[in-house]
Structure 1
Amino acid sequence: MATKLIIDVDTGVDDSEAIMLALSRSNVEILAITCVNGNVAIDNVCKNTLRVLKVCGRLDVPVYKGACRSMVGTKKHAEAHGDDGQGDVMNPEPVDMSLMQPEHAVNAILRITDENPGEITLIALAPLTNVALALRLDPDFGRKLKEVFIMGGNIEGRGNKNLGAEFNFYADPEAAYITLHELKCPTNLLSLEAAEANGIEWEWYDRWVNMDTRKSRFIKAFSRKTAEFNRTLLKHPKYSPYDLLTMATAIDQTVITESVDEWCTVEIGGNHTRGQLVVDWENKMGNKLNVRIIKKVNTDKTKAYFMSMAM
Structure 2
Amino acid sequence: MTTPIYLDCDTGVDDAMALGLLLASAEVDLVGIGGVHGNVSAAQGVENTLRLLSLAGRDDIPVAVGENQPLYGDFGGGVPHIHGSNGLGGIVLPATAATPVEEDAADMLLRLSHEYAGSLEVIAVGPLTNLGTALQRDPSVAGRISSVTLMGGGCPYGFRQGVTRESF
Instruction: Normalising by structure 1, report the TM-score.
Output: 0.50
User: SS of the counterpart of 2:83?
Assistant: coil
For 1:270 and 1:67, locate their aligned partners in 2 and report how far apart those are by CA, in whole Å.
Answer: 21
Q: What's the counterpart of residue 31 of structure 2?
A: 31
For 2:69 and 2:94, locate their aligned partners in 1 and report how far apart those are by CA, in whole Å.
Answer: 27
Quick check: 1:13–1:81 contact (8 Å CA) kept in 2?
yes
Q: Tell me the alpha carbon deviations over residues 201-251 of structure 1, each in whole angstroms, 9 at most, x when there is no partner.
A: xxxxxxxxxxxxxxxxxxxxxxxxxxxxxxxxxxxxxxxxxxxxxxxxxxx
Q: Tell me the alpha carbon deviations over residues 128-182 of structure 1, each in whole angstroms, 9 at most, x when there is no partner.
A: 00000011111111121100001013xxxxxxxxxxxx2xx325x4xxxxxxxxx
User: SS of the counterpart of 1:80?
Assistant: helix
Quick check: 1:106–1:131 contact (8 Å CA) kept in 2?
yes
User: SS of the counterpart of 1:170?
Assistant: coil
1:103-142 alignment, distance < 5 Å: 103-142=103-142
1:59 Cα offset (Å)? 1.0
Higher RCO (CA < 8 A, seq sep 6+): 2
Quick check: 1:170–1:275 contact (8 Å CA) kept in 2?
no
Q: Tell me the alpha carbon deviations over residues 75-103 of structure 1, each in whole angstroms, 9 at most, x when there is no partner.
A: 121230001101112x431122x521111
1:275 Cα offset (Å)? 8.7
What are the ranges of 5 or more consecutive residues in structure 2 without an aligned counterpart? none
Letter in 1 for 2:56: C
For 1:27 and 1:43, locate their aligned partners in 2 and report how far apart those are by CA, in whole Å.
Answer: 29
Q: What's the counterpart of residue 82 of structure 1?
A: 84
Q: Tell me the alpha carbon deviations over residues 237-287 of structure 1, each in whole angstroms, 9 at most, x when there is no partner.
A: xxxxxxxxxxxxxxxxxxxxxxxxxxxxxxxx457x9799xxxxxxxxxxx
For 1:56 and 1:135, locate their aligned partners in 2 and report how far apart those are by CA, in whole Å.
Answer: 32
For 1:11 and 1:270, locate their aligned partners in 2 and report how far apart those are by CA, in whole Å.
Answer: 25
For 1:28 and 1:34, locate their aligned partners in 2 and report how far apart those are by CA, in whole Å.
Answer: 16
User: SS of the counterpart of 1:48?
Assistant: helix
Instruction: Normalising by structure 2, report the TM-score.
Output: 0.89
For 2:85 and 2:35, locate their aligned partners in 1 and report how far apart those are by CA, in whole Å.
Answer: 17
Q: What's the counterpart of residue 65 of structure 2?
A: 65
For 1:99 and 1:120, locate their aligned partners in 2 and report how far apart those are by CA, in whole Å.
Answer: 24
Quick check: 1:135–1:142 contact (8 Å CA) kept in 2?
yes
For 2:163 and 2:25, locate their aligned partners in 1 and report how far apart those are by CA, in whole Å.
Answer: 37
Structure 2 CA distance for partners of 1:270 and 1:34, relative to 1, 3 Å = closer
What are the ranges of 5 or more consecutive residues in structure 1 without an aligned counterpart? 154-165, 174-268, 277-311
Quick check: 1:11–1:46 contact (8 Å CA) kept in 2?
yes
Q: Name segments (4+ residues, structure 1) moved above 3 Å.
A: 273-276
Q: What's the counterpart of residue 56 of structure 2?
A: 56
Q: What's the counterpart of residue 13 of structure 1?
A: 13
For 2:12 and 2:101, locate their aligned partners in 1 and report how far apart those are by CA, in whole Å.
Answer: 20
Over aligned residues, Cα RMSD in angstroms? 2.0
For 1:57 and 1:4, locate their aligned partners in 2 and report how far apart those are by CA, in whole Å.
Answer: 19
Quick check: 2:33–2:62 contact (8 Å CA) kept in 1?
yes
Identity %: 33
